[in-house]
């Protein structure tokens, strides 16, 4: 009975009601307006200096995609017919030590991976000339191929990078590895790459969303509405805006959100990301498990050190519970009872459902910002492990959209674009090369 009471209180703490969803959309709109005007806002609304592709861009490019957990190197071919393909892809796990050490080592690692990729695949010298760089952190873009890191997110703390031009740092590393002949043709955020990949294939695509280790989105904005740059840019046209919505701070968190934030490497920042993204939902579930264990709700009252380490429970492990399994064996607790399994499942359901509903509210905010009456069809290009791999996540998002818009919710189509962030960077490089970049 006590345990049931705990779980129903937990469900209440994590509940996002329909009025909450509506309230969030309003807060998003206000923060978006302030960010676009260059006023104080938790949404940075960073201009990407590029618009959407037409689908006619052509060429062969290398793409280097630094996400939160992996580094990908891709050889991308664009056929000018809306068809972009990754002819070769290699994934390298970012060694955790590099996330927090000297920044130069992180960039040397990237250059090494490019070298290894070149050796493993028969990449023509031609294709090796231009590289598109996806750097999935808040970067104040200065031009299409240069931008300064505002601050790290997703647990990275590498030194000597914040405030610097990350393209310069990459070029220096490439030079150190005798790859100085490679030219960085474009710098993009992963959301911008994903939108580019989606809209290269489908002109109805008007938003890019990442729901993976971190979370963020971008969309094409009319230049006159971007007040902070309207004097510099030509009128009437559109430019993609990287929202950096992970930093949105107008959602009231609960006790667990506070505990997570206080112990994080960037307290007070990325509050929305800390409620939604893959890196953090496992940590929220872990904090809850530890509390339940301390209160004797698990393992027949026995205590265990199994969940003591911060960030030891991942979203991937949480996903097991959605398929009827559990993750206890991974923590050396093989003989847990069915009741323990059920509790773990319930915790994961509560935390992941709030994540999906918050993500849906944020998507609804952007769609309704562009089209208040939801007159048109909106295709949202999405990438990231939560979206692609967490069972029931997309369904929970769709359910929230239906609560908001009824049948009209069918006009919001979430389209997973695998490897979109890397492929799209190559497309952005082609757009830049064709002179469409601002």
Task: Mention every residue, 6+ apart, whose C-beta is less than 8 A from residue 305.
Answer: none
Question: Shortest approach of ligand GLC to residue 276 CB, angstroms?
Answer: 10
Q: Of residues 112-171, which lie at the interface with ligand GLC (CB under 6 A)? A: 136-138, 153-154
Binding of residue 191 to ligand GLC (CB under 6 A): yes
Query: Going edge to edge, which strands form the sheet with 70-79?
Result: 84-93, 70-79, 58-66, 130-135, 183-188
Taking contact as CB under 6 A, which single stretch among the options 170-178, 213-221, 253-261, 423-431 is the one that binds ligand GLC? 213-221
Token pair of 346, please? 């319930």
Q: Assess whether 368 carries a catalytic annotation.
A: no
Give the whole-angstrom CA distance, residue 104 versus residue 170: 9
Dihedral sign for Cα atoms in the order 168, 174, 180, 184: negative
Nearest residue to 380 via CA among 199, 135, 223:
199
Binding of residue 42 to ligand GLC (CB under 6 A): no
Question: Shortest approach of ligand GLC to residue 416 CB, angstroms?
Answer: 15
Question: Shortest approach of ligand GLC to residue 382 CB, angstroms?
Answer: 11
How do 183-188 and 84-93 pair as beta strands? unpaired
Binding of residue 266 to ligand GLC (CB under 6 A): no
Between residues 55 and 147, which has the closer beta carbon with respect to ligand GLC? 147
Token pair of 370, please? 């562009």
Between residues 60 and 273, which has the closer beta carbon with respect to ligand GLC? 273
Which of 60, 190, 340, 419 is labelled catalytic? 190
Give the whole-angstrom CA distance, residue 358 versus residue 397: 8
Write the DSSP assignment of 382-409 as a string of letters.
Answer: EESHHHHHSTTHHHHHHHHHHHHHGGGG
Question: Shortest approach of ligand GLC to residue 78 CB, angstroms?
Answer: 23
Q: Of residues 45-84, which lie at the interface with ligand GLC (CB under 6 A)? A: 67-68
Between residues 255 and 418, which has the closer beta carbon with respect to ligand GLC? 418
Q: Which residue is nearest to ligand GLC (CB)?
A: 214
Give the whole-angstrom CA distance, residue 432 versus residue 156: 29
Nearest residue to 48 via CA among 233, 210, 174:
233
Give the whole-angstrom CA distance, residue 187 versus residue 431: 12
Q: Of residues 292-331, which lie at the interface with ligand GLC (CB under 6 A)? A: none
Q: Are 268 and 143 in contact (CB under 8 A)?
A: no
Binding of residue 273 to ligand GLC (CB under 6 A): yes
Question: Shortest approach of ligand GLC to residue 35 CB, angstroms?
Answer: 14
Taking contact as CB under 6 A, which single stretch among the options 75-83, 206-214, 324-332, 346-354 is the one that binds ligand GLC? 206-214
Instruction: Count the neighbouring beta carbons within 10 Å of the beta carbon of residue 9.
Output: 10
Interface pick for ligand GLC out of 71, 110, 186, 210 (rule CB under 6 A)? 210
Interface pick for ligand GLC out of 55, 147, 155, 214 (rule CB under 6 A)? 214
Taking contact as CB under 6 A, which single stretch among the options 160-168, 183-191, 314-322, 359-367 is the one that binds ligand GLC? 183-191
Nearest residue to 205 via CA among 188, 222, 192, 189:
192
Question: Shortest approach of ligand GLC to residue 135 CB, angstroms?
Answer: 8
Q: Assess whether 168 carries a catalytic annotation.
A: no
Which of 41, 42, 136, 277 is labelled catalytic? 136
**What is the crossing angle of helices 393-405 and 18-36, to 10°?**
90
Alpha helices in 83-165, H assignment, sequence order: 96-100, 103-120
Q: Assess whether 355 carries a catalytic annotation.
A: no
Question: Shortest approach of ligand GLC to residue 411 CB, angstroms?
Answer: 25
Question: Shortest approach of ligand GLC to residue 153 CB, angstroms?
Answer: 4
How do 238-242 and 215-222 pair as beta strands? antiparallel
* Count of positions on this chain that bind ligand GLC (CB under 6 A): 18
Which of 41, 52, 65, 72 is labelled catalytic? 72
Give the whole-angstrom CA distance, residue 104 versus residue 108: 6
Q: What are phi and psi of 245, to 5 degrees?
A: -70, -10
Interface pick for ligand GLC out of 155, 246, 282, 345 (rule CB under 6 A)? 246
Instruction: Count the neighbouring beta carbons within 10 Å of the beta carbon of residue 232.
Output: 10
Chain residues in the site for ligand GLC (CB under 6 A): 67-68, 136-138, 153-154, 189-191, 210, 212, 214-216, 244, 246, 273
Residues carrying an active site annotation: 72, 136, 190
């Amino acid at each position: 009975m006590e345990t049931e009471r705990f779980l129903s209180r937990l469900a209440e703490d994590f509940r996002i009601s329909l009025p909450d969803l509506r309230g969030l959309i309003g807060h998003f709109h206000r923060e978006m307006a302030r960010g676009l005007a260059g006023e104080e806002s938790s949404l940075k609304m960073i201009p990407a200096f590029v618009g959407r592709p037409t689908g006619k861009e052509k060429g062969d490019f290398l793409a280097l995609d630094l996400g939160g957990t992996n580094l990908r190197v891709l050889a991308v071919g664009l056929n000018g017919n809306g068809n972009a393909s990754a002819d070769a892809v290699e994934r390298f796990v970012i060694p955790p030590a590099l996330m927090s050490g000297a920044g130069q080592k992180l960039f040397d690692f990237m250059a090494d991976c490019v070298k290894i990729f070149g050796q493993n695949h028969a990449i023509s010298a031609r294709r090796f000339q231009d590289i598109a760089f996806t750097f999935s952190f808040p970067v104040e873009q200065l031009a299409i191929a240069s931008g300064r890191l505002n601050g790290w997110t997703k647990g990275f703390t590498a030194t000597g990078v914040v405030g610097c031009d990350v393209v310069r740092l990459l070029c220096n590393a490439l030079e150190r590895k005798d790859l100085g002949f490679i030219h960085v043709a474009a710098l993009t955020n992963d959301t911008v790459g994903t939108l580019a990949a989606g809209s290269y294939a489908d002109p109805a695509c008007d938003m890019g969303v990442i729901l993976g280790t971190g979370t963020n989105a971008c969309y094409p904005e009319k230049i006159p509405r971007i007040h902070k740059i309207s004097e510099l840019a030509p009128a009437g046209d559109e430019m993609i805006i990287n929202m950096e919505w992970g930093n949105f701070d107008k959602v009231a968190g609960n006790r667990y959100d506070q505990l997570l934030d206080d112990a994080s490497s960037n307290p007070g920042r990325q509050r929305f990301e800390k409620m939604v993204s893959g890196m953090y939902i496992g940590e929220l579930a872990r904090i809850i498990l530890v509390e339940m264990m301390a209160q004797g709700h698990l393992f027949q009252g026995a205590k265990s050190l199994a969940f003591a380490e911060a960030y030891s429970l991942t979203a991937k492990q949480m996903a097991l519970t959605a398929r009827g399994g559990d993750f206890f064996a991974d923590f050396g607790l093989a003989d847990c009872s069915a009741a323990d399994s059920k509790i773990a499942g319930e915790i994961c359901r509560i935390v992941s459902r709030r994540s999906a509903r918050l993500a849906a509210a944020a998507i609804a905010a952007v769609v309704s910002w562009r089209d208040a009456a939801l007159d048109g069809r909106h295709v949202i290009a999405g990438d990231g492990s939560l979206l692609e791999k967490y069972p029931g996540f997309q369904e929970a998002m769709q359910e929230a959209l239906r609560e908001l818009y009824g049948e009209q919710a069918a006009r919001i189509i979430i389209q997973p674009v695998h490897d979109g962030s890397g492929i799209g960077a190559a497309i952005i490089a082609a757009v830049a090369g064709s002179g469409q970049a601002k």
